[in-house]
Amino acid sequence: MFRLRRKVYLDNNATTAIAPAVVRKMHHVLKHQYGNPSSLYKISYASAELLATSRAEIAGKLHAQPEELFFTGCATESNNQIIHSAFEHHFPSKTTILTTPIEHPSVLSTLEYLKTKGLRVEYVPVDSCGRIKMDAYQAMVDDSCFLVCAMFVNNELGTIQDIRELARIAHAHGALFFSDCVQAFGKIPVDVQELDIDYASFSAHKINGPKGVGALYARTGAPLEPFIHGGHQERGFRAGTEGLHNIAGFAQAVKELPKPGKGSGASSQMDKVMKDFRRGLKSVVSGCVFNTPETDSVSNTLNVTFPGRPNAFLMAFLDIKGISVSAGSACNTPSNDPSHVLTAIGLTEEQARETIRFSLSRKTTASDVRYTLRAISEFVNEKDDSIHMLTPFEFDESLMLNPEMYILDIRTSYERKALRSLPNSHEAEFWKMDRYLKYLPKNKSIVVVCHGGMNSPVIAYYLKKKGFRNLSFIMTGMVGWKLAHPDLYSKYAGTNITHLGTRD
């Protein structure tokens, strides 16, 4: 097992570390408050009480009424329920939902699904920082529109939208307004009354709370339909016994939030760390481009394009150093589809594949940032090109069967059951790579293959550090390779496989 010397977690828009007070609260609830809030005896009354106070605490923070807040399994579920509710209520007398091309997939995929039922969806364009083009929006919203969906803060860019103005315009045309507030909550003030929105969604795990619980805000009077049917929980709008430990953990996470907004202690500390990071990046990587605007953005997020440097390499390099960041593109499809957000703001597919998102937390220190900058500087100043990235199409039959190629398959046994290995593969476990080093040839070209393309660059960098040269990896892993070469997969996969550990 290779160990990381230092851990710097810069992927807080993906999820956050759970706060210690939240763990304590959840532990207490799991141990002592197991009563079902719907049952009719003493221990259940205590659970019902905790459910009510948790709801009131979270609603209070949002300036909502407790009865306007519903607990769900996650924000994805909230987004689905909100959109389906508005659709069921208004369609087909009204036909259109307006949204933006940079919404979270839980919004865009729900809309794609409803298109199959006849819904018309229109996408308001955004500028190069992801800000909605107000003129275009004004021109597009009309009386056929029954819902506008626009997220408050974009998860990839950190860009903040003028939700109040967007909602005002929607209402002027008789449309409802829904804002996915998942990335805004805890970072900037979210006051549903002041914003004058009809619906909003939230997720606990983005604010140091537990995974598996979200919330849905529906203004009193806004149409709401159950999405999950069954019992009468959540006043009949969300069936299923409440995960009380998660809900109480969510409320505790909300209690732990510092006062958001400029000038408050925690956020001014984050502003400063982010400013140093921006300045430092410009000095260590000339030509890097910030896609996150300096104003109208949350101070924890920086989305950066590093021209000429594929993100898979930088991510892997940083991962080896213990730094977790996320790429602006999904690397697990055969075409290596770039992020829909980045292409919507005008990046080419190539630029999108050269883009990384850094998302800080309140705990990120100046020293974390300096460490990250040093690692990035080391990466950009590295001269040698001993690691090559192969598209699945490049890894064709002749390369695959070339005896000079040593195929190192680092997938788990579960992944190997799902997809057979490439012919002549040498199988080894990702997390035990140091044990396998003695088997690997120094005189051959090693091609590392993982399942979806994310782990192989990390191992390629690890092998490089261990003195191996002439390394490559397949950027989309076995999943993408099989999609690119179904015929080769049926002909050769699973033949002549060696499991390295069994050779001693």
Examine the residue annotation and report whether 331 is marked as an active-site residue of this protein. yes
Q: Does 203 bind ligand PLP (CB under 6 A)?
A: yes
- 214 lies in the binding site for ligand PLP (CB under 6 A): yes
Give Cα separations from 202 to 58, 190, 191, 205, 213 (angstroms). Answer: 10, 11, 13, 9, 9
Tokens of 96: 């259109």
What is the distance of C-alpha 64 from the center of its chain? 27
Of residues 181 and 315, the one with the C-beta less far from ligand PLP: 181
Of the listed 74, 145, 181, 331, which one is catalytic? 331
User: Closer CB to ligand PLP, residue 105 or residue 307?
Assistant: 105
Query: Under 8 Å CB-to-CB from 391, ≥6 apart: which residues?
Result: 336, 474, 475, 476, 484
Near ligand PLP by CB under 6 A: residue from 75, 98, 447, 463: 75
Report phi then psi at 348, rounded to 5: -75, 165
Please say which residue, 104 or 131, places its beta carbon nearer to ligand PLP: 104
DSSP 359-380: E--TT--HHHHHHHHHHHHHHH
Q: With contacts defined by CB under 6 A, name the span among 68-76, 257-265, 311-319, 458-466 that binds ligand PLP.
A: 68-76
Q: How far is CA 373 from the centre of its chain?
A: 23
Cα–Cα distances (Å) from 72 to 80, 215, 269, in that order, read 11, 5, 33
Q: Is 249 in the site for ligand PLP (CB under 6 A)?
A: no
Helices 244-256 + 20-32 axis angle, to 10: 150
Among 70-78, 80-88, 261-269, 291-299, the segment contacting ligand PLP (CB under 6 A): 70-78
Nearer to ligand PLP, 302 or 478 (CB): 302
DSSP state of 173: T
- Round to whole Å and give the CA distance between 383 and 369: 23
CB of 75 or CB of 114, closer to ligand PLP: 75
Between CA 296 and CA 126 the distance in angstroms is 14
Number of residues that bind ligand PLP (CB under 6 A): 12
How would you classify the pairing of strands 120-123 and 96-99?
A: parallel
Query: Smaller CB distance to ligand PLP: residue 16 or 203?
Result: 203
Q: Which stretch binds ligand PLP (CB under 6 A): 176-184, 238-246, 322-330, 407-415?
A: 176-184
**Footprint on residues 374-433 left by ligand PLP (CB under 6 A):** none
| Residues 96-135 close enough to bind ligand PLP by CB under 6 A | 104, 106
Q: Which of these ranges, 87-95, 140-148, 180-188, 478-486, lies near ligand PLP under the rule CB under 6 A?
A: 180-188
Q: Which of 91, 87, 133 is nearest to 107 (CA)?
A: 87
Rule CB under 6 A: choose which of 69, 126, 182, 387 binds ligand PLP. 182
Q: Which residues contribute to the site for ligand PLP (CB under 6 A)?
A: 74-76, 104, 106, 151, 155, 180, 182-183, 203, 214
Task: State the catalytic residues.
Answer: 331
